[in-house]
Chain A
Amino acid sequence: GENVEQHPSTLSVQEGDSAVIKCTYSDSASNYFPWYKQELGKRPQLIIDIRSNVGEKKDQRIAVTLNKTAKHFSLHITETQPEDSAVYFCAASSEGKLIFGQGTTLQVKP
């Protein structure tokens, strides 16, 4: 079955710096890769997603890249702000089965 590995588990950056979170997946049939943000005490919410026929997608300060050959995808946040502090989860979907990574706790220091 699918296995998703996410790194790092914690990430601390200064406000204005960039943050990068990386994930690898095992099932070559996976074709959808969403990223979720979970603020403290709240439910996870989708921030960006990418499908397997696309290599990169950008939405304002966030971007996701996908390398199907290497089976890894990454989340890039530029110009980080304190409100970006949260837990971020990557996920991979194959045939409707949605598997999440272990999560990255991002702290943005003012």
Chain B
Amino acid sequence: DGGITQSPKYLFRKEGQNVTLSCEQNLNHDAMYWYRQDPGQGLRLIYYSQIVNDFQKGDIAEGYSVSREKKESFPLTVTSAQKNPTAFYLCASIASRANTEAFFGQGTRLTVV
């Protein structure tokens, strides 16, 4: 069953702790993206990667880090430097740089307690 999978669905973190959100796809897509979704602010781009071992900052990269060691995987680390990390995080993948449909994961809701 092909698709893009995010885990976990819900995540709780204590202030001052780093946490890593998982995103895996078996669609053989080249490009992967991380977005943050807050009410009234749409989907804001955190980081994106168009090929393995390369990634670019989006509009709100501060306090986040990523890696792209494998084509299938694009984990996002929310560091303690992120001032307001409580949000819904969505991962997406696209087949190639040629503009085509983005497929989204089911999202991870991160809550800082």
Contacts and interface: CB of A to CB of B under 8 A. Distances in A.
A38 B41 CA distance: 14
A54 interface: no
Interface stretch (B11-19, B62-70, B71-79, B101-109): B101-109
A9 B97 contact: no
B48 A98 contact: yes
Contacts, number: 60
B93 to A, nearest CB: 11
A100 interface: yes
Interface of B: 31, 33, 35, 40-45, 48, 50, 56, 58-59, 90, 92, 94, 97, 99, 101-102, 104-107
Given A91-B43, A96-B97, 5 more contacts: A6-B42, A36-B102, A43-B90, A43-B105, A99-B45
